[in-house]
Structures are given as C-alpha cells and as structure tokens.
C-alpha cells in the first residue's frame, strides 16, 4: 500500500497574519492594563480633591463633625498624615511606594500628637473612613478615624 504523507505548508501571508494577530492582542492587553492604572490614578486624585473640599467645608463652619467614606484602589494600603511643612498627606501603596500631597487647613499638631510623626488610616476593602471635626474657636480642622 502506498501511504502518502501530507505536507503542511504555511504561506508567508499566513505566518504574517498570525504574527499580526499576536501583536494586536499584545497591544490590546497593554492598553487595558494602562486604562486600569489610569482609572486607579484618577480615583486617587478624586480622593485628594474630595478630602480637600470636605476639609474646606468643615473649616468654613463654626463647629461641626462629619464622617466621610472615600473610595480608594486596593493597591493603597493606608492614608497617613504627617506634620511637615510641605507635604502632609502620604498615600502608601502595597509595592512600598508612596505619594505625597498637601492638604490645607488641617491641624497637624493635634492629628499627629498621639502617633508621631505619622497618623495613618488603613484602607479596608477599598474604603477609607475619616472623621472631620472642628469646635468653636478653632482655626483648623482635626482628622481622626472612627
């Protein structure tokens, strides 16, 4: 019996098409990862802006207390307040990096008096709960965690 072996030949066009498909999939995955990172960065920016706006509202009031819940990405471990002149808000990430920001009109001496030099609030399941309060005659807003 004569058995013929089939020979599989891939043309240059077929190989080039497979190569292009692989490149397109790689770029799609890269784009999705970048988009997710951008979303997390925007969520952090919104947290800082919302916190500053809430502090401003409390600062304008003669007296008050407000418990605020902020959403943060799970890559954020904690939000820390530190008594320095330039940056007083430190956002700590799970990869040991950190982001430093400035929040105006908060009483850093009082906030960091118990836990010096940092007063940290943990990110639990993507949520940070911060209590803002101010009494009569005080110029700055105090921050605590419930």
What pLDDT does 3 receive?
59
- CA 141 and chain centroid, separation: 23
Is 3 part of any domain?
no
45 is a domain residue: yes
Output the pTM of the full model. Answer: 0.80
pLDDT (0 to 100) of residue 2: 58
Query: pLDDT under 50 in the chain at which residues?
Result: none
Tell me, what's the pLDDT at 79? 94
Q: What pLDDT score was predicted for residue 31?
A: 95
Q: Is residue 1 part of a domain?
A: no
The reply to whether omega before 117 is within 30° of 0 (cis) is yes
| Number of domains, the chain | 1
> Residue 125: inside a domain, yes or no?
yes
Domain limits for position 18:
12-144
Q: Is 4 inside a domain boundary?
A: no
Give the C-alpha separation, 3 to 61, whole Å.
Answer: 93
Buried b (16+ CB within 10 A) or exposed e, 121-131: bebeeeebebe
User: Can you say whether the dihedral through the CA atoms of 29, 123, 108, 146 is positive or negative?
Assistant: positive
């Amino acid at each position: 019996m004569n058995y013929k072996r089939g020979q599989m030949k891939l043309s240059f066009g077929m190989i080039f098409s497979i190569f292009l498909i692989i490149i397109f999939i790689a770029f799609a995955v890269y784009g999705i990862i970048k988009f997710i990172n951008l979303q997390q960065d925007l969520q952090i920016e919104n947290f800082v802006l919302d916190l500053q706006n809430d502090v401003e509202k409390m600062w304008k009031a003669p007296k008050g207390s407000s418990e605020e819940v902020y959403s943060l990405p799970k890559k954020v471990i904690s939000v820390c307040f530190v008594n320095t002149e330039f940056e007083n808000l430190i956002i700590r990430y799970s990869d040991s990096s950190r982001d430093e920001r400035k929040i105006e009109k908060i009483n850093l001496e009082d906030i960091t008096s118990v836990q010096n030099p940092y007063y940290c609030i943990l990110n639990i399941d993507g949520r940070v709960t911060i209590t803002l309060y101010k009494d009569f005659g005080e110029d700055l807003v105090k921050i605590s965690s419930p």
